């Protein structure tokens, strides 16, 4: 019996994800699995936005150290928190079947975004959600919201916000689906690259793990997130960009599997400045949609690169000093 250790953050959602993979490894591969809980820099720094302190990669660095030192064999990540380019010596061994990729509207008083009174306070620290929310409701006041999922919900319950926006996948995985007042249509709130998908990271030299874990992969989900993450990589590689990228499909048209990749880019400077009283309107989103036959990772990457090129042609430019919520 093979014995392996999973490095995981200690938040309730991260532990659920690690336990989920543990159960898969035990039931399908017959392995013996232990968990190594860790606290990352991303969990510790809560007074500043992620884009100010190094991006979402702060959630994975300590886990990679554990892999490199041999204290753990693999790490489980929510792919929207994983940098587009892994450090040298690490590899993504597989992507599991994707959960609901949508964003969720969560509120104790209001049933949907349209019901919020003018000037309502909505919590998020995502530049993507900032620009998309402001495109839908320029009057809203967007305020920073950091911490794990339970912390964010507690801040809402304490009355700090009229509503918050969270990933539907995390709420569903923790049995908190009842907190979702409405799931945003992807046409309105385009998800982040990789949202809802779990990935397993290993050291690149662990051929034994890569071969075994590949049997757990859900190929349609892996191809989809590859296309999405390629857009992010081509736009600069930061997890904290005001970028949304989401695939629909693949769907079969004739004899081909066709994937539709949608992307959106906004200007957080004008989005954050806009409000019902200031008279400032957010710069319109740059939206791109492209379809292609996708049967391989190379074709998924080619689609992502083409969409990124169209975004840049439309004026999308990322500067690291962009204002944050």
- Collapse the DSSP code of 236 into the 3-class scheme (helix H, G, I; strand E, B; otherwise coil) and give the result: coil
Average pLDDT value for the chain:
88
Calculate mean pLDDT across residues 191-200.
Answer: 96
Please write the tens of the pLDDT for every residue from 46-85.
Answer: 444 444 444 455 567 889 999 999 999 999 999 988 888 8
Please write the tens of the pLDDT for every residue from 89-135.
Answer: 999 999 999 999 999 999 999 999 999 999 999 999 899 999 999 99
Residue 33, pLDDT > 50, answer: yes
Residue 180, pLDDT > 80, answer: yes
pTM reported for the whole predicted model: 0.88
Residue 199, pLDDT > 90, answer: yes
Q: Are 53 and 45 in contact (CB under 8 A)?
A: yes
Residue 323, pLDDT > 50, answer: no
The dihedral sign for the CA sequence 146, 150, 155, 156: positive
- pLDDT at residue 183, as a whole number: 97
For 76-108, the three-class secondary structure string (H helix, E strand, C coil) is EEEHHHCCCCCCCCEEEEEECCCCCCCEEEECC
Q: At 35, which helix (H) or strand (E)?
A: strand 32-38
Extended beta strands in 214-300, E state: 243-253, 256-265, 286-293
Q: At 4, which helix (H) or strand (E)?
A: strand 3-9
Buried b (16+ CB within 10 A) or exposed e, 109-142: ebeebeebeeebbbbbbbbbbbbbbbbebbebbb
Q: Which of 1-5, 32-36, 48-52, 252-256 has the lowest mean pLDDT?
A: 48-52
Give CA–CA dist 81/192, Å, rounded. Answer: 10
Active-site residue set: 81
- pLDDT at residue 283, as a whole number: 75
Q: Are 134 and 188 in contact (CB under 8 A)?
A: no
pLDDT band at 274 (very low <50, low <70, confident <90, very high): low
Calculate mean pLDDT across residues 143-166.
Answer: 94
For 127-170, the three-class secondary structure string (H helix, E strand, C coil) is HHHHHHHHHHCCCCEEECCCCCHHHHHHHHHCCCCCEEEEEHHH
Strands 32-38 vs 3-9: parallel, antiparallel or unpaired = parallel
Q: Tell me which residue of 222, 194, 291 sits closest to 251, measured CA to CA.
A: 291
* Domains of the chain and any CATH numbers: 3-96+196-217 (3.40.190.10), 102-190 (3.40.190.10), 218-317 (3.30.160.40)
Q: Give the distance from CA 143 to its chain's centroid.
A: 19
Q: Which of 43-57, 97-111, 242-256, 266-280 has the lowest mean pLDDT?
A: 43-57
| pLDDT > 90 in the chain, percent | 73
- How would you list the strands of the sheet with 74-78, edge to edge? 32-38, 3-9, 74-78, 198-203, 90-95
- pLDDT at residue 53, as a whole number: 43
- pLDDT at residue 49, as a whole number: 47
Of residues 44 and 128, more confidence is placed in 128
Backbone φ and ψ for 105, nearest 5 degrees, come out as -90, 120
């Amino acid at each position: 019996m093979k014995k392996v250790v999973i490095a995981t953050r200690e938040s309730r959602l991260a532990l659920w994800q690690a336990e989920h993979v543990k159960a898969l490894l035990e039931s399908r591969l017959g392995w013996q699995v232990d968990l190594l809980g860790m606290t990352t820099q991303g969990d510790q720094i809560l007074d500043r936005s992620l884009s100010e302190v190094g991006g979402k990669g702060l959630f994975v660095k300590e886990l990679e150290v554990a892999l490199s030192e041999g204290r753990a064999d693999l790490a489980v990540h929510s792919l929207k928190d994983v940098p587009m380019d892994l450090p040298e010596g690490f590899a993504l061994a597989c992507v599991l079947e994707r959960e609901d990729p949508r964003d969720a509207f969560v509120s104790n008083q209001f049933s949907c975004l349209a019901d919020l009174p003018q000037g309502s306070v909505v919590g998020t620290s995502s530049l993507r959600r900032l620009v998309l929310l402001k495109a839908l409701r320029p009057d809203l006041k967007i305020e920073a919201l950091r911490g794990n999922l339970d912390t964010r919900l507690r801040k809402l319950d304490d009355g700090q916000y009229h509503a918050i926006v969270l990933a539907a996948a995390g709420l569903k995985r923790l049995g908190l689906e009842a907190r979702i007042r409405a799931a945003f249509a992807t046409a309105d709130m385009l998800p982040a690259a990789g949202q809802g998908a779990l990935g397993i990271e290993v050291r690149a030299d662990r051929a034994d793990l890569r071969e075994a874990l590949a049997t757990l992969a859900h190929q349609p989900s892996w191809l989809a997130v590859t296309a999405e993450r390629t857009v992010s990589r081509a736009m600069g590689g930061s997890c904290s960009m005001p970028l949304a990228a989401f695939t629909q499909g693949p769907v079969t048209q004739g004899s081909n599997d066709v994937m539709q990749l949608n992307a959106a880019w906004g200007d957080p400077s004008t989005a954050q400045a806009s409000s019902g009283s200031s008279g400032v309107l957010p710069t319109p989103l740059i939206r791109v949609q492209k379809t292609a036959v996708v049967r391989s990772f190379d074709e998924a990457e080619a689609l992502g690169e083409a969409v990124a090129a169209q975004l840049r042609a439309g004026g999308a430019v990322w500067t690291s000093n962009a204002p944050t919520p």
